[in-house]
A and B are shown apart, each in its own frame.
Chain A
Amino acid sequence: METLLSLLSQIWASHAVLIITAIKAVLVAVTLLQVVPLMVWLERRGSAVMQKRLGPNRIGPLGLFQGIADGVKALFKEDNPPAHVFKFYYRLAPVVSLIPAYMTFAVIPFASSIAIGEHTISFQVADLNVGFLYIFAIASLGVYGIIMAGWSSNNKYSLLGSLRSSAQMISYELSLGLSVVGLLMIFSSVRLGDIVRQQGELLVQLGPLSIPKWGIFIQPLGFLIFLVSAYAETNRLPFDLPEGESEIVAGYHLEYGSMHFALFMMAEYINMTVAAALTATLFFGGWQMLPGLPALQALLTQNLGLVGTLADLLRVLFELGSFVAKTAFFLWLFVWVRWTLPRFRYDQLMDLGWRVMLPLSLANIFVTGILIYYKVL
């Protein structure tokens, strides 16, 4: 027993950073996994509310356990690939679309750092100095899963769906990348941690109302372009043409069943979560507390008499709560938009991408440059 303890403390002493990072990675991965059934439930109940129906309400309180039932069903279903598919790529495709979705969350900070003992723990799995460029790079790999699925299904509808998705991805990746350049020019950093920290500064004071330097206030047009492009990148309505069930049946996942299909769904919902978290981080101050919360935190710290690490923990809790609340709002926005807007026609989609979004994002960069030159921003 004693030797085991000493061995453990030795490992901790030599690999503390590695262990902390591993714990963070596992925590983030497991949390992301929990978002999926929750979002499926939210989407079905949300659509029901908007269409005056009930939605799933039988399993568990408010039908909350519906996701578990669906998961169990998908797991135990017979896995029977059609005879005409390329088996290897057919099986690989859902995995290829799921892994990048998971990898992208690594650089998103969800609270400010905290000092415990001699270690400073930052609430971010990896603080890369390429920041959100990493997210764009890895997210662009996700479309390979869709292409692979469409091609290996050996079915004309699937192939059409995957070709649509590749064209859509390439078109909207441009405006997505360009929409954040303005933000990059103002904060002069691509590190998400730096960007969030700078968003805590005060922009203007309007009487009792203090407006922070959140991305939405200094880059409103950039935010709009980013949001629209993010919807296109995650294949969500009104841009879900790769699926397009009314024209190409179900697009790229037409030939999939059981857990393979569920993996595609998971990839979609995790991509949505990353998009929502990134929107919150870039344009809504990330873990910066929501208005009113700093006062509450100060009050609590004083009344409970917290000092040192405990006070820091309370602060981290408030920041985490703010981050989760912002992300949850944008996740709800995904559902909201889905059940509000009809799907675009394909030529309208391309027109919007190349004739509206791209020129607008270039104009946004130009105007931002002028404003920075004249020291307005």
Chain B
Amino acid sequence: MSEISPVAFYLFAGMALAFSVLTVLKKNPVASAFSLVIVFFSFAGIYALLGAHLVATMQILVYAGAIMVLFVFVVMLLNSDSPSFDFRRSPLIFRFAAGLVCFAMFVLFVKVFRETGPSPSVGPFTSAAVEAAGGNTRVISELMFSEYILPFELTSILLLAGIVGSVALAKRHGSAEKASSKKGVSSVSSR
């Protein structure tokens, strides 16, 4: 493994942690979404440090687009500043349960990270090997279209099912609206 600059790692990891906390704590949903963008951006930074440039780029490309859609929904649909759940008013038992789960999670993390078993064996894809085979992008695409072609194609079928499902939902919604009223209600357009 190539060595990772500890300064850069702690910078990105710290940013990811801090903004994850902010995502949960911010009262304003739009502010939460902005924090989430920075979390994903920091993850991309860590991937880039590990030498996985393609994964880092895809992280930004895909999540930036995905959160953009989230944004639009937040701005358009959830236009309220009231939090959906006020923990100070919740029953005592919930508060107790939440505390217990947090503690259990913490213990679990400590246990996992203190476990220092035999160091994992180095696979065939070391940084040097990947660089020799023509870089990240080439190695991943070649693997994806040879060894992992079946999972890759199955994923596309999954996505197709999702598209067909959303179109079917939108169609039913649109026709129901048309049938139910002629008041000139603007039909819900969907992509």
| B-binding residues in A (CB < 8 A) | 89, 128-131, 133-134, 136-138, 140-141, 143-144, 147-148, 151, 159, 163, 166-167, 169-171, 173, 189-191, 354
Contact = CB atoms under 8 A, between A and B. Distances in A.
B34 interface: yes
User: Among the interface residues B68, B136, B138, which one has the most CB atoms of the partner chain A within 10 A?
Assistant: B68
A163 B34 CA distance: 15
A151 B75 contact: yes
B191 interface: yes
A147 B37 CA distance: 13
A173 B62 CA distance: 11
A248 to B, nearest CB: 15
Q: Interface residues of A: mostly helix, strand, loop or mixed?
A: helix
Contacts of B174: none
B68 A169 contact: yes
Contacts of B54: 129-130, 133
Given A130-B54, A134-B57, A148-B34, A166 B68 contact: yes
Given A130-B54, A137-B57, A166-B71, A173 B137 contact: no
B75 A163 contact: yes
A271 B109 CA distance: 44
A129 B76 CA distance: 39
Contacts of B136: 129-130
Contacts of B76: 163
B1 to A, nearest CB: 18
B167 interface: no
A190 B48 CA distance: 17
A170 B68 CA distance: 8
Interface in B46-72: 53-54, 56-58, 60-61, 64-65, 68-69, 71-72
B65 A138 contact: no
Contacts of B137: 129-131, 133, 190
Contact of A141 (B30, B31, B60, B71): B60
A159 B76 CA distance: 10
Given A138-B60, A173-B65, A130 B53 contact: yes
Nearest to A190: B137
A140 B191 contact: no
9 shortest interchain CB distances as A-B pairs: A129-B135, A137-B60, A137-B61, A130-B57, A140-B64, A130-B53, A137-B57, A133-B57, A129-B136
A123 to B, nearest CB: 20
A133 B68 contact: no
Nearest to A169: B68
Contact of A136 (B53, B61, B75): B61
A354 B191 CA distance: 9
A129 B34 CA distance: 29
Given A151-B75, A167-B72, A190-B137, A133 B191 contact: no
B50 to A, nearest CB: 14
Contacts of B31: 89
A32 B147 CA distance: 44
B34 A128 contact: no
28 contacts: A89-B31, A129-B53, A129-B136, A130-B53, A130-B57, A133-B58, A133-B61, A134-B57, A136-B61, A137-B58, A137-B61, A140-B60, A140-B68, A141-B37, A141-B41, A141-B64, A144-B34, A144-B64, A144-B68, A148-B34, A159-B75, A163-B76, A166-B71, A167-B72, A169-B68, A170-B68, A170-B69, A354-B191
Given A130-B136, A143-B68, 6 more contacts: A133-B54, A136-B61, A137-B57, A144-B68, A147-B68, A191-B135
A293 B31 CA distance: 54
B130 to A, nearest CB: 9
Interface string B33-48: 0100100010000000
